[in-house]
């Protein structure tokens, strides 16, 4: 028979009870640099604090599944197993936002309880990771002895879950803020802020390690005319499609950024001038051939690209930008929908 506990009412049964954590546990959480490191730290310490045979932490993956992010102890339910929210013990904890204890896993019909029982576990206790009215996931412990966990255990686990939930939510918010600060909101491409960081890094690595690269500016041809004729929503659609097409062609050494209205930048590492020219032409051709239909109208879209090689004389991004911009101007002057590499005769 399962035992249910309302997380908000647990303290009523133990008003005078105090919970203390080892200093090393608190310190380990303080210095954790990633969400994964936080979850691993929590599972390792709870494994010790609750004398458990297994500890796991799940977070919501999508509408139907929870994902196991960390395990300590028994691997009866492995990390790569996506836990269904329906017909599982942790799923009920997640959905109902309720602390649950199963005193005898051999009597349960829940999928995860069956898997634990088959590995020799006989009891489990799960607490929801609550942040306000939102359940982020579950904190789960299991033991080989049936009827092992008490009401006080439930209180302590939920208190831990509440504390960890705050840590998780803050890190998720920071991750979201970092994403918003580094990403163009319309297209999802890396923005000018990230471009400035990456081009400076590439220049520094070139001077320190000799890692060559090519730099390109890409501009949508007649973009103002497209906006004037079809409206800015059509222009937004074209920007999104061009980013999607280009990013599918980006190889691991390549980096792609939206740095202005219809202007993009590309850093292409460790290749010859011929390889760079071929790569940029592949992008240009893919965009020119792409089907872009907006509001039942087939749009004809092309881009021009100007690029240059990194030089030992380049100490800052401005010189690369000037040369690539001159090459881009030559591409437009020659009729657009083409790629031009900078050479010293261009003015």
Catalytic annotation, residues: 262
Counted residue by residue, the chain has a size of 347
* List of long-range contacts for 80-83, beta carbons under 8 Å, 24+ apart: 83/58, 83/112
Output phi, psi for 341, to 5 deg. -95, 140
| Helices and strands: H and E segment counts in the chain | 10, 14
Q: Which two tokens stand for residue 207?
A: 């001077």
**Among 221, 217, 216, 224, which Cα is nearest to 336's?**
221
What DSSP string describes 251-271?
Answer: -TTEEEEE-SSSEEEEEEES-
| E runs forming strands in the chain | 2-5, 54-60, 65-73, 82-84, 99-102, 123-131, 134-143, 213-220, 254-258, 263-269, 292-294, 297-299, 303-309, 339-341
Name the residue with tokens 């261009």.
Answer: 346
Which distant-in-sequence residues (6+ apart) come within 8 Å of 183 by Cβ?
A: 189, 190, 191, 194
Cα of 53 vs its chain's centroid, Å: 31
Please compute, for residue 288, the number of CA atoms within 13 A of its CA located in the half-sphere on the CB side.
Answer: 15
């Amino acid at each position: 028979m399962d035992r249910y506990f309302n997380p908000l009412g647990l303290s009523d049964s133990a008003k005078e009870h105090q919970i203390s954590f080892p200093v090393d546990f608190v310190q380990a959480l303080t210095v954790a640099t990633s969400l994964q490191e936080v979850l691993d730290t929590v599972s390792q310490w709870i494994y010790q604090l609750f004398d458990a045979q297994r500890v796991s932490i799940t977070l919501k993956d999508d509408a139907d599944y929870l994902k196991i992010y960390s395990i300590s102890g028994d691997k009866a339910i492995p990390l790569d197993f996506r836990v269904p929210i329906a017909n599982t013990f942790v799923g009920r904890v997640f959905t109902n936002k309720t602390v649950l204890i199963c005193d005898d896993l051999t009597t349960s019909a829940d999928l995860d309880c069956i898997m634990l029982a088959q590995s020799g576990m006989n009891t489990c206790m799960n607490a929801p990771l609550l942040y306000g009215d939102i359940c982020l996931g579950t904190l789960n412990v299991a033991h080989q002895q049936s009827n092992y966990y008490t009401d006080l255990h439930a209180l302590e686990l939920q208190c831990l879950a509440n504390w960890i939930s705050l840590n998780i939510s803050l890190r998720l918010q920071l991750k979201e803020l970092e994403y918003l600060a580094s990403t163009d909101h319309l297209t999802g491409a890396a923005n000018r802020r990230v471009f400035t960081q990456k081009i400076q890094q590439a220049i520094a690595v070139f001077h320190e390690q000799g890692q060559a690269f090519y730099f390109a500016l890409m501009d949508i041809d007649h973009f103002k005319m497209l906006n004037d004729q079809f409206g800015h929503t059509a222009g937004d659609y074209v920007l999104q499609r061009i980013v999607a097409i280009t990013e599918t062609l980006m190889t691991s050494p390549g980096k792609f950024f939206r740095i202005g209205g219809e202007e993009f930048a590309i850093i292409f590492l460790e290749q010859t001038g011929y390889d760079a020219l071929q790569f940029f032409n592949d992008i240009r051709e893919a965009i020119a051939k792409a089907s872009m239909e907006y509001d039942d109208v087939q749009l004809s879209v092309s881009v021009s690209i100007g690029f240059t090689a990194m030089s030992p004389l380049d100490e800052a991004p401005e010189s690369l930008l000037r040369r690539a911009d001159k090459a881009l101007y030559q591409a437009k002057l020659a009729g657009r929908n083409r790629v031009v590499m900078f050479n010293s005769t261009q003015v």
